[in-house]
Amino acid sequence: MARYIFITGGVVSSLGKGLASAALGALLQARGFSVRLRKLDPYLNVDPGTMSPFEHGEVFVTDDGAETDLDLGHYERFTGVSARKTDSISSGRIYTNVLEKERRGDYLGKTIQVIPHVTNEIKDFIDVGSDEVDFMLCEIGGTVGDIEGLPFFEAIRQFAQEKPRGQCVFMHLTLLPWIKASGELKTKPTQHSVKELRSIGLAPDILVCRSEGPIPQKEREKLALFCNVRPDAVIAAQDLSSIYDAPLAYHREGMDQAVLDAFQITPAPRPNLDKWEDVSERIHNPEGEVNVAIVGKYTQLEDAYKSIAEALTHGGIANRVKVNVNWVDAELFDREDAAPYLENYDAILVPGGFGERGTEGKIKAAKFAREHKVPYLGICLGMQMAVIEAARNVAGVSKAGSEEFDHEKGEKRFEPVVYHLKEWVQGNERVNRTVADDKGGTMRLGAYHAVLTEGSKVAEVYGTTAIDERHRHRYEVDVKYRKALEDAGLCFSGMSPDGRLPEIVEWPDHPWFIGVQFHPELKSKPFDPHPLFKDFVRAAKDVSRLV
């Protein structure tokens, strides 16, 4: 039976609960334990799938097709454990489940209330799969005191009460601000945060305190005294130059030992941190650097492309180079020539997105990469724009475009080289969709098989002709244009098993130009970089050494 670690946050948001949870999971794995991490988000959206990237950052997609919080990406990158639909839940999903049960009559005529019906639903979710792992780490989104988070805090309070003593531990992440004018590190915000937590029946066993520098012994003792935790359970979480230093930094601070002590696991197995030491050594001792331009439409918020940025870092780790990522607003090229902005980069990446805004700029970026032989990786919309560019400028389809843009505008302007995907095969079933369907959860989501062409660049990169990758799209390159495009030189080197859906395109006469309909960044890890990102950075490295 699993032991449970509940991670809460206080003072302010964005302190790094997801990163702390992921690093703790990695440390427990290093000691030989099995872990699973999950996220409980108090917002009322059923999932993040319908949120703007500016609102919530990227949407992380699991193999089984769940659209989840970006923290699940951290969980996977640090532990290598593939997330599932059951590892992400929101108030919206909880209330939907409760109301569906009420409509069916499952509650036998009772009045439906937050306690016990909503809290019971949350507790049932927490307990899913508890017999599969040694530790279940559950992160509660938001901060203590948020009104929407109260049902979740109450649910974990009840959950801990119902489990045998010593089976649940609470870890609270707070901020220790440095007041420059007085030259002091202030503990009062943390004291108030813990006071708020205790007022709703939760007492932290471990305090993780974010700070710019080390925590002096005097402040540690003060925090331990006023927050009622052991001095060795006050963990400093200092700012780091790389997030992949977090497991080593937290281990030096004694986080994993504090958790095991709280569970009274003695003697604890010694950790094997070799792979994290190797990752850290590669990050801090690169043998060169490359410059990559990400031409996107959500560049004002880097979290919108979090997994892509991390996957590029992983590619750098594999090639022992530092990857300098530069964010370029695609709309800039709607008005200006792309060449002056892109000519000094070693590689260009065009990521996914929705809507017409910025797409002409992405098309210009793909054209520049094709004509100037710059390594190019197009992901989802980035592949579609590369195909439209090829259709317009090489295959002679002058009005090539996407049906998505016509739907958005409400008028027909383009020849739809990219069309609305109306049906596809999922497992043994055929899925059907229309433009009028609800937006949430209706895309082609999750892991699907693809078959690669023998002898193609991607087959060489993957080292196989059969792959599984995660998808998130509702528009698709129309296979009826395949012959015209291949006659023009563009190779459709990856297809769905039934041959109906293009998955990968590449220019064989280009040093490295690949577009993929799926999202390879979602499966990359620092100790297991995705093959496409690994080889993309290698190609950029080769270019940088030619300059």
Contact 250, 20 (CB under 8 A): yes
Q: Compare 469 and 430 and report the one with higher pLDDT.
A: 469
Residue 176 has pLDDT above 80, yes or no: yes
pLDDT tier at 546, thresholds 50, 70, 90: low
pLDDT tens-digit map of 121-161: 999 999 999 899 999 999 999 999 899 999 999 999 999 99
**Separation CA 392–CA 366 (nearest Å):** 12
Residue 148 annotated in ligand binding: yes
- Min mean pLDDT across 49-53, 167-171, 263-267 is at 49-53
384 is in an annotated binding site: yes
**The pLDDT value given to residue 387:** 97
Q: How far apart are CA 253 and CA 247, in angstroms?
A: 10
Give the least confident one: 29-33, 47-51, 453-457: 47-51
User: Is the pLDDT reported for residue 547 higher than 60?
Assistant: no
Residue 381 annotated as part of some ligand binding site: yes
> Which residue do the tokens 């009104």 mark?
147
- The amino acid at residue 232 is D
Cα separation, 535 vs 520, in Å, equals 12
Residue 15 annotated as lining a ligand binding site: yes
Catalytic residue among 154, 380, 471, 473: 380
Q: Look over the chain and give the mean of its residue pLDDT values, rounded to a whole number.
A: 93
Which pLDDT band, with edges at 50, 70 and 90, does 24 fall under?
Answer: very high
Residue 6 has pLDDT above 60, yes or no: yes
pLDDT (mean) for 424-441: 76
Please indicate if the annotation marks 222 as binding a ligand.
yes
> 190 among the known binding-site residues?
yes
Map 403-417 to HEC letters.
Answer: HHHHHHHCCCCCEEE
pLDDT digits (tens, 9 = 90+) for 481-536: 999 999 999 999 999 999 999 999 999 999 999 999 999 999 999 999 999 999 99
Q: Which one from 74, 471, 510, 519 is the annotated catalytic residue?
A: 519
Q: Is 403 annotated as a binding residue?
A: no
Sheet containing strand 475-477, edge to edge, reads 400-402, 415-420, 475-477
Contact call for residues 290 and 347 (beta carbons, < 8 A): yes
521 is catalytic: yes
pLDDT band at 407 (very low <50, low <70, confident <90, very high): confident
- For the record, the structure tokens of 234 come out as 């006050």
Is 146 annotated as contributing to ligand binding? yes
131/494 Cα distance (integer angstroms):
39
Closest to 256 in 3D by CA, of 218, 198, 190, 208: 208
Token couple for 201: 């029946």
- Is 385:330 a contact under the CB 8 Å cutoff? no
Give the model's pLDDT for residue 410.
Answer: 86
181 pLDDT band, cuts 50/70/90, is: confident
In the annotation, is 168 catalytic? Answer: no
Q: How far apart, in whole angstroms, are the C-alpha atoms of residue 543 and residue 211?
A: 40
- Tell me the C-alpha distance between 384 and 475, whole Å: 9
188 annotated among ligand-binding-site residues: yes
pLDDT at position 27? 98
429 pLDDT higher than 90: no
Q: Would you state the pLDDT for residue 298?
A: 84
Could you tell me which residue, 23 or 333, shows the higher pLDDT? 23
Any known ligand binding at 162?
no
Of the residues 76, 219, 356, 521, only one is catalytic, namely 521
Residue 147 in marked binding region: yes
Angle at 305 between CA 208 and CA 6, to 5 degrees: 25
pLDDT tens-digit readout, 323-351? 999 999 999 888 888 888 899 999 999 99
Question: 270-289: string of b/e by CB count within 10 Å (b at 16+)?
Answer: ebebeebeebbebbeeeeee
